[in-house]
A = this chain, B = another copy of it.
Amino acid sequence: MNEATSVLGKPRVQAEEVQALQDTIYVIGGKWRLPIINSICNGNKRFREIERSIPGITTRMLSKELREMELNKLVKRTVHPGPPVLVEYESTPYCKTFGSIILEMIRWGKEHRDKLREE
């Protein structure tokens, strides 16, 4: 894969990378975070709209994730007083930093569609 499998100083670098990898996994932890980010980045704004765009998610999980994501500045929540009351979720610049990860994962998923059917 790379130029050197056993060069001095490598373990140190590896440790850093492992840490970075585990940090990232922690942040996007769970099954729903990335699909939600993807949905919002694709322009979905309303709660039910987001919900419908993600197969399998339940109201409770979406609600929980959205709440936590708002706290972490991953989404912006705006309430337009009604009636009828209207709530909008928007992606933040921080949210968009996940773009390349999501893209890579979509690419992987498409490429391995057939393999997955077998499992």
Q: Is the CB of B39 within 8 A of A18?
A: yes
- Asked whether A20 is an interface residue with its Cβ less than 8 Å from the other chain, the reply is yes
B-side contacts of A18, CB under 8 Å: 35, 38-39, 53-55
Q: A59 to chain B: which residues have CB within 8 Å?
A: none
Q: Which residues of B contact A113 (CB under 8 A)?
A: 20, 23
Q: Is A47 an interface residue (CB 8 A)?
A: no
Q: A100 contacts which chain B residues (CB < 8 A)?
A: 104, 107-108
- Are A108's CB and B24's CB within 8 A? yes
CB distance from A46 to the nearest CB of B (A): 8
Report yes or no: B34 in contact with A25, Cβ–Cβ below 8 A: yes
Q: Name A19-46 residues within 8 Å CB distance of B.
A: 19-27, 29, 31, 34-35, 38-39, 41-46
* Contact, CB under 8 Å: A19 / B97: no
**Is the CB–CB distance between B23 and A109 below 8 Å?**
yes
Pair A1/B41 contact, Cβ less than 8 Å: yes
Chain A residues packing against B (C-beta within 8 Å): 1, 5-6, 14, 16-27, 29, 31, 34-35, 38-39, 41-46, 53-56, 72, 86, 88, 94, 96-102, 104-113, 115-116, 119
